Structure 1
Amino acid sequence: MKILYEDSIPHGHDYFSQLGEARSYPMGTNPAEWLSDCGYLAIRSTTRVDEALLRQAGQLQMIATATAGTNHMDIPAIEQHNIAWRDAGGCNAVAVAEYVVSVLLNARRQKQLDLDRITVGIVGAGHVGTALSRLLGALNISYVLNDPIREQQGDNRHFVSLDEALRCDVVTLHVPFTTTGEFATANLIGADQLNHLSSSQLLINACRGEVIDETALKQRLQSADAPVVVLDVFNREPDIDTELLPLIWLASAHTAGHSVEGKVRGTQMVYEQFCEHANVTRQLALEDFLASPLPVDFTPRDPSMEALGWDEISELLLSIYDVAEDDRDFRNAMAQGESFARIRKQYRVRRECNSYTLRLTGVVSEGILRQLTGLGFILETL
């Protein structure tokens, strides 16, 4: 079993050498020259799989991307060559959901939002939208879901129209980028939708840049009563329009999902997919590559309360992940001439809440315990 994998895939050698002869290729290069006798190809979004590449892959049986999106893969061409393919959908869902929560807590810190009174419109109820809805539920923040495809497929959750979602205090986008079909998402948020958003609303895009019409967005942001905007993604990455940066509140280099757990989870999923295709027994698990949960001593100010107050929640969650740090680092790096791709590649180490064990002292109410568990923490009572 010969496996070729992009060298940016975390623990790629550890995972894939367990299955057979594994060789890496440098991120950002074309792997075609190494594909002639390769049976399995593991990639990330920096590798474009198209017809030209596939013509060099005479023995290729399967391609898997260790990322949630597949826009870098020409799926019809792959299928025409009778090559199996898979993605790592959901690998970074928790990380992106925690990114949105960090944005909300920053908005509260800046007195832009009263989290007890807002409603969040989640556009896209897939892996990320679902993970986000769970976190918002744990925080008792009201939300609505918009996803016409899942609604048509019989998903039994309650859905609202896009127009209704766009009337919420916060609108956060979590759809795949698609250009065809009844519910194509290219330029889903165009001039008309942007013109109906006001300065009291917050718009977050952490899915794909092309979901928003950036030309219309730039115009709207330079007009009166413009909404507050947070962008983790941009059109034409990595060659982004830097003129947008002074116009938006928070910006980052497509790193909303770049937690340690999210990236290693993607590798684990590809490894398992290769095992299944090759009918090989899995030997490795995610826990083999993640450090033990990090201990944190935490004592609620009033352990008898049914839920933590916003000050406590903010102190806890922002101490673990504060999106304002990403914004600062991103803007500083861009000002110093760093490339978007390099900033993304050198992103800092970031852990998810599920990598922390909260060590609680004394008796804590069931409500607080449920809330902390709902946020993903491991709990230990001392």
Structure 2
Amino acid sequence: MARKKPLVVVTRKLPDTIETRMRELFDARLNVEDTPLSQAQLAEAVAVADVLVPAITDRIDAEVLASAGPNFKLIANFGNGVDHIDVAAAMARGITVTNTRGVLTEDTADMTMALILAVPRRLTEGAAILTQDDGFWPGWSPTWMLGHRIWGKRLGIIGMGRIGQAVARRARAFGLQIHYHNRHPLPPQVEEELEATYWDSLDQMLARMDILSVNCPHTPATYHLLSARRLKLVRRDAYIVNTARGEVIDESALARMIETGELAGAGLDVFEREPAVSPKLLKLARAGKVVLLPHMGSATVEARIETGEKVIVNIQAFMDGHRPPDRVLAAML
């Protein structure tokens, strides 16, 4: 007799190839309309499911997990970050949590590098000029639309994990000098390969960099890591790029300092209260002071398919009685 397929509830629309494979392997309930589930709907899902496949838009908190049914044993997250999941509450109930480590590294590093280029060189300002007034522009001039070169500048990377290191490799090719702050220094051979300078003091690094790139995860320890106090340490002519999580930066303080000229500008792909974007940041974007993107760092076809494939592998391993390859442990948080 064939084993009963596990009931897998998927909270958002996934690539067709992934959804098709899930239907083949599992009793998969899909969200073909891609409408975000409410907290009540998430609670209903964990009450009946064996597995939940949430995304970053779903808040899986202790209240949702309190509704977990007797068969609910796995949260197979679609994505790397798990700050939207109360992992401690899940573990306390014997629920395993997995993520999809490593899939988004190169795509997010590409987007980080794009913002590092876009902000000092005023790319979005220039592009906007050609889409206004029927494409009229005054023509080339020696003093028009001047930005700043990045070659020879110092890049400070906050968080030197997979993505931070991938950013460093790209940035070196653009002539940037690599500096970084991390909980621990990199192994000497990696540091030598990247020609990277380690700062154990974040405050000291912030005061010396031309460009700062936020590439650390959002955890209780990194909430507002770039606080109003720390932002005041940053040089007035420096730029800040964030492709990690919006909560790592005090967004209100950042906007205020750019508005008053205490910071040169910023490139942001993430926001503190997504999907809401601060009106102050929108105003600064219209003025050409910041570049804003709608959380596109990992938005490639390849990344979404690879992420889905990892989710499937984690579910299969768990259901076969094996340890999932991407299990999230308390020590990782």
Task: Give the TM-score taking structure 1 as reference length.
Answer: 0.66
Correspondence list, 1:1-382, <5 A: 1-11=6-16, 12-25=18-31, 26-29=34-37, 30-58=41-69, 59-107=71-119, 109-110=121-122, 111-148=146-183, 150-151=184-185, 157=191, 159-160=198-199, 161-166=201-206, 167-179=208-220, 184-247=221-284, 248-279=289-320
Contact 1:9–1:44 (Cα < 8 Å) also in 2: no
Which deviates more from structure 2 when the two are superposed, residues 24-33 or residues 90-99?
A: 24-33
1:155–1:16 Cα change, 3 Å:
farther
Contact 1:44–1:67 (Cα < 8 Å) also in 2: yes
Amino acid at match of 1:42: V
Tell me the distance in 1 between the aligned counterparts of 2:65 and 2:189.
36
Tell me the distance in 2 between the aligned counterparts of 1:132 and 1:8.
29
Contact 2:120–2:239 (Cα < 8 Å) also in 1: no
Gaps of 5+ in 1: 282-382
Tell me the distance in 1 between the aligned counterparts of 2:321 and 2:304.
23
Tell me the distance in 2 between the aligned counterparts of 1:203 and 1:178.
20
Amino acid at match of 1:217: L
1:269–1:116 Cα change, 3 Å:
same
Which deviates more from structure 2 when the two are superposed, residues 154-163 or residues 39-48?
A: 154-163
Which deviates more from structure 2 when the two are superposed, residues 170-179 or residues 253-262?
A: 253-262
Gaps of 5+ in 2: 1-5, 123-145, 192-196, 323-333
Amino acid at match of 1:244: L
Tell me the distance in 1 between the aligned counterparts of 2:253 and 2:312.
41
Aligned-partner SS, 1:172: strand
Match of 2:142 in 1: none
Match of 1:301 in 2: none
Contact 2:119–2:266 (Cα < 8 Å) also in 1: no
Match of 2:129 in 1: none
- 1:208-232 deviation per Cα after TM superposition (whole angstroms, max 9, x unaligned): 1111112222321222342211111
- 1:178-222 deviation per Cα after TM superposition (whole angstroms, max 9, x unaligned): 22xxxx111111222222323421111111111111222232122
State, as a whole percentage, how many aligned pairs show the same letter. 25
Amino acid at match of 1:178: T
> Looking at both structures, which has the greater relative contact order when contacts are Cα pairs under 8 Å and sequence separation is at least 6?
2
Residue 35 (structure 1) shift: 3.6
Contact 1:6–1:42 (Cα < 8 Å) also in 2: yes
Tell me the distance in 2 between the aligned counterparts of 1:153 and 1:54.
39
Residue 75 (structure 1) shift: 0.8
Q: How many residues align?
A: 276
Task: Give the TM-score taking structure 2 as reference length.
Answer: 0.75
Give the RMSD, CA atoms, in angstroms.
Answer: 2.5
Tell me the distance in 1 between the aligned counterparts of 2:262 and 2:151.
24
Residue 263 (structure 1) shift: 2.0
- 1:305-325 deviation per Cα after TM superposition (whole angstroms, max 9, x unaligned): xxxxxxxxxxxxxxxxxxxxx
